[in-house]
């Protein structure tokens, strides 16, 4: 089982909180799509496994037109063995999702939409500099639901100025619309973003840690009461709607990352492409892969395993640690988990350790404490 990730590095405008790789000039979009196809061809033998998931991320993949999308699919199907029931997700922004575009996507192999709603409130969308408005957020979902069954939306909590009542209203809107999968992230202030500058200049008030915690608790309670499984720290799905792409990533399955800034993983090493559209294009045009590679040590792999697994419903199995990394790491894990078990932040079911409801908000901090430092 393996996956392909395609990075579409273009956006209409820069969201104030975003530190992903993208360009707001779409002049070279078609040329870049051709390069993505060349990279797919150059790397066709890298993953000798059937492809079970394809994920178009970005950037904004919903900026692709039908010819560009068709060219990418043609290339993938020509060079890779794609499973008949592969999950094929495309990230889309509400302002791109006219009925015409949704119909075009429905006619393509895409079978899952991940829509970047973020909030249904105009003030939140303005503050984040999203390209869509609240009306478009609602109307895109109503139309998308007529054509797609498997829909996920992104919602952000911890937006400056957003009250808990507004956060509840956002979740209620998603529930009313009967969306089967929600990914929800805290708004983090990344270095060198407009949001960081606004906070430094006092134009935007930073959000208190307590508010993040309260809104996270509201999110977990509301969605789990409404039939969603909280299957990963930021992901909630109704039965049958968990993201196969994300699950494969958390379970350490290999994937090929295509496009500027895309990351790949083959089970033992990580590679990442250059985060520059022009240099990426130049390299691919001359038949080179603009990549860096990092071979993961056993300690790196153990730390990654603990970090990703503790965020998921699967938890960390000490049998797995013993088998994959050895006795030394198993003993370290067992020694360090004691305090979290005593504090009720973790629980042990047979040989598998999970974060409890009380510890969920602290998942990443707990995982970091369980890391092995060489």
**Could you tell me if residue 20 is left (phi over 0), alpha (psi between -120 and 50 degrees) or otherwise beta?**
beta
Residue 215 CB, shortest distance to ligand SF4, in Å, is: 19
Q: Which tokens in the block code for residue 178?
A: 């009967």
15 makes contact with ligand SF4 (CB under 6 A): yes
| C-alpha pair distances (Å), 372 with each of 114, 275, 300, 335 | 35, 30, 8, 11
Of 41-49, 58-66, 291-299, 313-321, the segment contacting ligand SF4 by CB under 6 A is: 58-66
Out of 2, 6, 8, 22, name the contact with ligand SF4 by CB under 6 A. Answer: 22
72 makes contact with ligand SF4 (CB under 6 A): no
Pair 239, 189: CB distance under 8 Å = no
186 makes contact with ligand SF4 (CB under 6 A): no
194 makes contact with ligand SF4 (CB under 6 A): no
Of 15-23, 73-81, 291-299, 300-308, the segment contacting ligand SF4 by CB under 6 A is: 15-23
Site for ligand SF4 in 80-99 (CB under 6 A): 93
Residue 59 CB, shortest distance to ligand SF4, in Å, is: 5
Out of 2, 7, 40, 59, name the contact with ligand SF4 by CB under 6 A. Answer: 59
**Residue 196 main-chain phi, psi, to 5 deg:** -60, -40
Out of 33, 37, 52, 58, name the contact with ligand SF4 by CB under 6 A. Answer: 58
Residue 22 CB, shortest distance to ligand SF4, in Å, is: 5
Please enumerate in sequence order all residues whose Cβ is within 8 A of that of 303, keeping only pairs 6 or more positions apart, or say none. 371, 372
For residue 200, give the 3-state DSSP assignment. helix
260 makes contact with ligand SF4 (CB under 6 A): no
DSSP 297: P
| C-alpha pair distances (Å), 218 with each of 108, 165, 366 | 37, 10, 21
Of 41-49, 53-61, 303-311, 348-356, the segment contacting ligand SF4 by CB under 6 A is: 53-61
For residue 47, give the 3-state DSSP assignment. coil
For residue 90, give the 3-state DSSP assignment. strand
- Contact footprint for ligand SF4 (CB under 6 A): 11, 14-15, 18, 20, 22, 58-60, 93, 116
């Amino acid at each position: 089982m393996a996956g392909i990730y395609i990075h579409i590095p273009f956006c209409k405008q820069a969201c104030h909180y975003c530190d992903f790789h993208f360009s707001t000039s779409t002049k070279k979009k078609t040329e870049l799509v051709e390069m993505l196809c060349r990279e797919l061809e150059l790397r066709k033998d890298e993953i000798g496994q059937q492809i079970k998931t394809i994920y178009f991320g970005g950037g904004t993949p919903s900026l692709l037109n039908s010819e560009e999308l068709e060219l990418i699919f043609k290339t993938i199907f020509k060079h890779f063995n794609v499973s008949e029931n592969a999950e094929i997700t495309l990230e889309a922004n509400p302002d791109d999702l006219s009925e015409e575009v949704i119909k075009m996507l429905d006619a393509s192999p895409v079978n899952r939409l991940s829509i970047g709603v973020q909030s249904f409130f105009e003030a939140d969308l303005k503050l984040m500099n999203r390209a869509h408005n609240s009306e478009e957020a609602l109307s895109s979902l109503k139309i998308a639901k007529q054509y797609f069954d498997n829909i996920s939306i992104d919602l952000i909590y911890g937006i400056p100025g957003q009250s808990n009542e507004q956060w509840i209203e956002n979740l209620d809107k998603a529930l009313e619309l009967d969306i089967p999968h929600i990914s929800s992230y805290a708004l983090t202030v990344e270095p060198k973003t407009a949001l960081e500058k606004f906070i430094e200049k006092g134009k935007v008030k930073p959000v208190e840690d307590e508010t993040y915690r309260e809104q996270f608790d509201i999110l977990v309670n509301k969605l789990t009461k409404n039939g969603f499984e909280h299957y990963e720290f930021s992901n909630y799905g109704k039965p049958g709607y968990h993201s196969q792409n994300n699950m494969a990533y958390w379970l350490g399955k290999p994937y090929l990352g295509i496009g500027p800034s895309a990351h790949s993983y083959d089970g033992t090493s990580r590679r990442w492409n250059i985060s520059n559209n022009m240099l990426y294009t130049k390299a691919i045009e001359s038949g080179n892969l603009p990549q860096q590679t990092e071979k993961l040590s056993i300690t790196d792999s153990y730390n990654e395993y603990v970090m990703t697994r503790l965020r998921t419903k699967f938890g960390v199995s000490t049998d797995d640690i013993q088998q994959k990394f050895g006795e030394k790491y198993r003993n370290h894990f067992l020694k360090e988990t004691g305090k979290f078990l005593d504090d009720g932040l973790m629980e042990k079911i047979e040989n598998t350790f999970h974060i409890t409801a009380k510890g969920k908000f602290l998942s990443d901090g707990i995982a970091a404490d369980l890391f092995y430092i060489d």
